[in-house]
Amino acid sequence: MARDPLWPSLRQAQVCTGDRIWRATFSEDLAEALLAEALLVASAPSDALSASATQALSESLVLPGDRAWRLGVDVDGLLVGMAVDPQACTLHLGSPRFGAERFLVSNLCDRHDPPKDWQAHVSAWQRADPAAAPLDVARSTALLALPDLLDPKHEGARPDSPLLTHMRTLGAELASRMGRYRPGLWERINGFGLGLQADYAVLRVHLLRFVALLPSLDHDMEGVEVRRLLVEMFRRLVTDSERARLARRVGERGPLPVLLEAACRVAGVVARLLPARQVSTLTRAGVRLMARSFIAGEDIVEAQPALMRLRASGRSATLDQLGELVVR
């Protein structure tokens, strides 16, 4: 009987870890990421994974346990879902959380019965218990042959051990330094504003919507559109807050405090009366000033001074390149 072309073929390979040989099953779609390059065009199931895939899977299996478990494995930047059955020495590999595989089985089974190997493939993921997966700290401890401080029998896990005593001393010193820290005026204002956004959804929605639209108005040299959107934001803030008060909503979806609502009403009137160019300049400067708390710079050259200051203070940092619209 011919195989339904809607269902990709399942391939198999072996993973050797110490004295155990695991049988890995995965869809043809993952062959390019998992198999050795020379075996990608093989028509029969291959038994050789790429070196990077073998290393990633072997490191994840350093503590196999005795119950079926599942987790995500990074193979050269590709996140792969892995279900492990230590009793049968089998691995089932697929998309993250087996989303694509479960979608195929649940949405095509009414019209096209899934092959038995596909049913077993998806069932292996569903049977596996994510809570049974070894912790990252436990795997790292085993891989690097570090002292197992999670083991209560280990010498370093005793309450009076030198290591734990040193850790408590460092913790107390860190807590003391944090207690002595006093934020500056701008940091207090920024924190207060962020707290209001977290507490009131109506403020968060309209403010973030305005900030997201602002970069698209770089062509507005006179500031007319910026002022119009700003006035509209304040008007909607007041209107939605009044509606929330009439509906007796509470918590995050509740109305703004009376003073804050009145301040929004006044701000809308002032923005309407002031010249558009001045409103636009002040608005962009305020948003840019707030953004500097989170954006190191528009490029790596601008971000370098911030990184150097962090390094000089003994802290490390990473940079994320933003892909959405940001204020310049």
Per residue in 216-269, pLDDT (tens digit) is 888 989 999 999 999 999 999 999 999 999 999 988 899 999 999 999 999 999
Q: Residue 152: is its pLDDT beyond 80?
A: no
Range with lowest mean pLDDT among 56-70, 104-118, 202-216, 219-233: 104-118
Residue 2 has pLDDT above 60, yes or no: no
Strands, E, within 7-152: which ranges?
10-17, 20-27, 69-75, 78-85, 90-94
Residue corresponding to tokens 């006179």? 222
User: pLDDT tens, 317-326?
Assistant: 877 777 555 4
214 Cβ contact partners less than 8 Å away, ≥ 6 residues apart: 226, 229, 283, 284, 287, 327
Q: Where are the domains positioned within the chain?
A: 10-143, 185-312
Inform me whether the pLDDT recorded for 40 exceeds 50: no
Classify 313 as helix, strand or coil: coil
User: Does position 161 have pLDDT exceeding 90, yes or no?
Assistant: no
Q: Are strands 90-94 and 20-27 parallel, antiparallel or unpaired?
A: parallel
pTM of the model: 0.55
Going by DSSP bridges, is the β-strand pair 78-85/10-17 parallel, antiparallel, or unpaired?
A: unpaired
Residue 44 has pLDDT above 70, yes or no: no
Q: What is the predicted pLDDT for the residue at 218?
A: 87
Q: Which amino acid is at 304?
A: Q
Distance CA 165, CA 48 (A): 48
Whole-number Å distance between alpha carbons of 191 and 14: 54
CA 123, distance to chain mean position in Å, is 27
First to last CA, the chain: 62
CA distances 281 to 193, 201, 237, 239, Å, are 20, 27, 22, 26
**What's the CA gap between 315 and 301, in Å, rounded?**
19
pLDDT exceeds cutoff 70 at 37: no
- Rounded CA-CA distance 56/17 in Å is 11
**For residue 327, what pLDDT is reported?**
46
Burial (CB count <10 Å: 0-12, 13-18, 19+), residue 220: middle
- CA-to-CA distance for 192 and 166, rounded, in angstroms? 36
